[in-house]
Amino acid sequence: MKILEERIIKDGVVRAGNVLKVDCFLNHQMDISLFQEMAAEWKKRFEGQKITKILTIEASGIAIACIAATAFDNVPVVFAKKTESLNIDGEIYSSKVTSFTKKRVYDVFVSKKYLKPDDHILIIDDFLAVGSALNGLIDIVQQSGATVEGLGIAIEKGFQGGGDSLREKGYHLESLAIVDKLDAETGEIGFRK
């Protein structure tokens, strides 16, 4: 998606350790107009697929998922939570996720009330690297018996392999920008053609 790639070039900052900082428009300060264009693009790419619910993960996935929902007839959005909360009761689906940036393992969970076998789920998240969060969300959907209709990612770090592994498994993955090169010394950012 050209305008997302251009925005990454303009405002993204490359850091050592394959870190791409985009907190000025994606995951700290958020550009709602850009999110609306991303939503329209996902709508086009998942045209004709039945989507009954969008699933994402806190925190920065929530914003993109909610604006995406406005392009999918305002389907409900559910976000997986990262720590047990006193306000969650009843039974949950859970999975383990390793954070790339925070370098730790945590549990993610969704209340069983909000994923049903007849749901058709579009999973949305801001980043895809090795795919730990996305695989955790897929695991949760599969536990519920619902169908994973598609995976919508804003920025995939293609060189970390998580996306290609999911494509090989047959998932319909639509990443709006696939970064194939990050050079912390020169600041260069290369995209997959």
Residue 164 DSSP label: H
Q: Which stretch binds a copy of itself (CB under 8 A): 105-113, 149-157, 160-168, 182-190?
A: 105-113
Kindly state the smallest distance separating residue 79's Cβ from a copy of itself, in Å.
7
Nearest to 172 by CA among 48, 27, 2: 48
Pair 11, 23: CB distance under 8 Å: no
Q: Which is nearer to a copy of itself, 121 or 173 (CB)?
A: 121
Q: Which stretch binds a copy of itself (CB under 8 A): 25-33, 132-140, 147-155, 176-184?
A: 25-33
* Selected binder of a copy of itself within 2, 47, 48, 103 (CB under 8 A): 103
State the Cα angle at 47 between 31 and 30, rounded to 5°: 10
The C-alpha R_g of the chain, in whole angstroms, comes to: 16
Beta-bridge partners for 57: 80
Which spans of this chain sit near a copy of itself (rule: CB under 8 A)?
19, 21, 23-24, 27-33, 35-36, 58-60, 62-63, 66-67, 69-70, 74-79, 81, 85-89, 101-103, 110-111, 113-114
